[in-house]
Chain A
Amino acid sequence: MKKYGKQILGCVAAIAVYVAVTAAVNMGVMSRQMMSLIVPVCMNIMLAVSLCMVVGFLGELSLGHAAFMSIGAYAGALVLKSGLPTVAALPLAVVTGGACAAVLGLIVGIPVLRLRGDYLAITTLAFGEIIKSVFNAATPITGGAGGLKRIPPVTTYRNFTFVYVLMLIVIVLVSNLVNSRHGRAICAIRDNYIAAEAIGIKVSLFKTMAFVLAAFMAGMAGVVYAGNIGILRPGNFDYNTSIEILVMVVLGGMGNITGSIIAAALLTLLPELLRGLSNYRMLVYAIVLIAMMLFSNSPLRRMLAEKRNMRQADKIQ
């Protein structure tokens, strides 16, 4: 029972959220502003959880997550626009988007094997900017700066169930992976890659695997984005977008999936909740961001955490 407690809790929470959101939408108690945020929240959770695997568990800083998302979005959008019936096109788009992003993940994976730390971070950022430039120049396929338009709106909040299930798949996939043998290998690489290599963990294989998998999931999130907004422009996938996703992961407490989920939802909702402040909105957002980072690393917070640990330790005794 103890062993499965967490899973059961997760399932109950997932179902409860689903029921609550669906009920709120159908009963009309939810404002339209909030309804239009449902899909962005789900999408950002997918992005944050997938990046969490790379940054939190593999311990490599990636500033190019938006690039994987953009590849998925463009590839998926082209499938959605192909004229297939939605029932067939949507799953196909999600798989295609994910697969295309995974291929890019494999390409980016090569430098990942050679570089570490900030050098890797800037390389992923460079890849993102290269892809953005290429999308901008490839006008016949991507529509260039004008954007890829008239994408069927198949993943809006009206299609919440599909998006939600996709999100759950990502969460379950990542949390199961990190708790598996492979996941422990990945964490071992983060903690000490020399030691990991010494005990026979194939560092290259696991690093690439984590990157490709994260890319695949970001690509799926990209398809959700495309089907929600209906227009794709290369400028929306620049390094700032990657950084926004990174902020969610770090704020959630690196390597903490639940934290990433909460942070993603919170940071998506926050700018919208601040709309009443009109001109001061983004200023307050910045201050809140700094304050949250300072608080989550402050002695006060550490003290609280320690107290909680002590209490738990007492209970076990």
Chain B
Amino acid sequence: MKKFMKLASVACVAAMTVSATTMAAEEFKIGGIGPLTGAVASYGISVKQGAEIAVAEINEAGGVTIGDTTYEFVLDYQDDQGSEDIAPQAYNTVMDNGANVIMGAVTSGPCIAITADTFADGILQITPSGSAEDCIANDNAFRICFSDPEQGVAMADYLIDTVGISKVAVIYNTADDYSSGIKEAFEAEFAEKGGEVVASEAFQTGDQEFNTQLTTIQGTDAEAIYVPAYYQDATYITKQAADQGMELPFFGSDGWDGVLGTVTDPALVEGCIFTSPFCASVDEEKTVAFVEAYQEAYDAIPDQFAADGYDCVYTYKAAMEQAQSIESADLIAAMTEITVDGLTGTMTFDASGAPIKDVLFVTVKDGAYTFVE
């Protein structure tokens, strides 16, 4: 197998030298880890595709030149099935293939399962979307997305201070760390600010039936429903709420991004507000170009995972240029000095590895995403 990989990479290099003709570029290998199969495959695939767009863009623009060497980016993306059991194997496979930096893992659990190893190897690890706090516990690990508590707190403040809602019902995924992580921080902050969580309804990964939870919420005096979960869940929940004739406003977490692509009728999510740093229909030059390239390549509208993957690749580029090196130790040191002007906002990184960027609120207006003023 190893032999085969070697052959394959030799073939790739050969192909690239032919196409690049003028310059023999060195490879800078990004080892990507995320789910390509299994229940959460769509997140991993999105990250991979977003990253591929960035890699193609950077290479087309001549790669990254450090000293007198030019580096071409190569993405080696391995499937972890969204499972802690498989992530170490995926990580070690990309290391066998000679990864310079690690992009991943996409989901929190698998990400945490490899942090000890990446730390021991001293390699720069940036997770595009691993939002649990432990993902970046070590000095070599950074992230692009918000942390779970950050979002929950931001939404609690927003609901009380800006929207003026004090009674809210929460629907969350009890089997998912992302969802329960946000929910815990949200409920604590909401209570602290004098609000009341009148119903806290759980579901399990893969559940499609939410009528019971919604009927329960109907029996309370909730003024809004907060759903820190992914867009598939949001699709089912908003549809079934509409079927029940409920008219409560919906609020969500950044997992909601992409919901317009999966609902049958945009009216179902009209007016919902969720925390997200990325919005595919925003009229910014960068975003428009990315969405166009993505649509051309994959015939789909990119979601926030794709944007995270894209930004992650540009973060490596920024770190390389800052450090003038491809050694992980130099890159890690450079991480806190760079500013990345990405699709998900302009961000810098603090020493803990967290990105410093604004939490933005996105709403659906007339069937399209827009930022809330």
Contact = CB atoms under 8 A, between A and B. Distances in A.
A and B touch in the complex (CB under 8 A): yes
Interface stretch (B17-25, B67-75, B76-84, B353-361): B76-84
A233 interface: yes
A231 B1 contact: no
Contacts of B116: 153, 230
Interface in B78-114: 78-79, 81, 83-86, 88-89, 91-93, 95-96, 108-109, 112-113
A275 B93 contact: yes
Contact of B175 (A145, A278, A281): A145
Given A145-B179, A236-B84, A281-B79, A36 B89 contact: yes
B113 A33 contact: no
Contact of A145 (B2, B5, B174): B174
B49 to A, nearest CB: 12
A147 B93 contact: no
B180 A146 contact: yes
A282 B35 CA distance: 12
B88 A236 contact: no
Nearest to A273: B1
B173 interface: yes
Contact of A144 (B8, B109, B180): B180
A276 interface: yes
A153 B4 CA distance: 32
Interface in A266-309: 271-273, 275-276, 278-279, 281-282
Interface string B160-177: 000000000000011111
A278 B36 contact: yes
Nearest to A149: B134
B201 to A, nearest CB: 14
Interface of A: 31-33, 35-37, 40, 136-137, 144-147, 149-150, 153, 225, 228-231, 233-236, 271-273, 275-276, 278-279, 281-282
Contacts of A147: 109, 112, 177
B205 interface: yes
A275 B1 contact: yes
Contact of A234 (B83, B88, B132, B175): B175
Given A31-B96, A229-B84, A272-B89, 8 more contacts: A31-B92, A32-B95, A33-B89, A147-B177, A231-B109, A231-B113, A276-B4, A279-B36
Contacts of A32: 92-93, 95-96
11 contacts: A37-B89, A231-B109, A233-B84, A236-B83, A271-B86, A272-B93, A275-B1, A275-B78, A276-B8, A281-B79, A282-B81
Contacts of A146: 108, 132, 177, 180-181
Interface string B50-70: 000000000000000000000
Given A145-B180, A275-B1, A35 B113 contact: no
Nearest to A241: B85
B89 A230 contact: no
Nearest to B2: A31
Classify the interface of chain A: helix, strand, loop or mixed: helix
A149 B133 CA distance: 11
A296 B93 CA distance: 32
Contacts of A276: 1, 4-5, 8
A137 B173 CA distance: 12
A36 B88 contact: yes
B138 to A, nearest CB: 11
A137 B205 CA distance: 14
Contacts of B96: 31-33
A131 to B, nearest CB: 13
B37 interface: yes
Contacts of A136: 174-175
Given A236-B84, A276-B4, A35 B177 contact: no
A282 B175 CA distance: 24
A32 B179 CA distance: 33
A35 B93 CA distance: 10
Contacts of A153: 116
A228 B91 CA distance: 14
B134 A150 contact: yes
Contacts of B81: 282
B89 A229 contact: no
Given A149-B134, A153-B116, A231 B79 contact: no
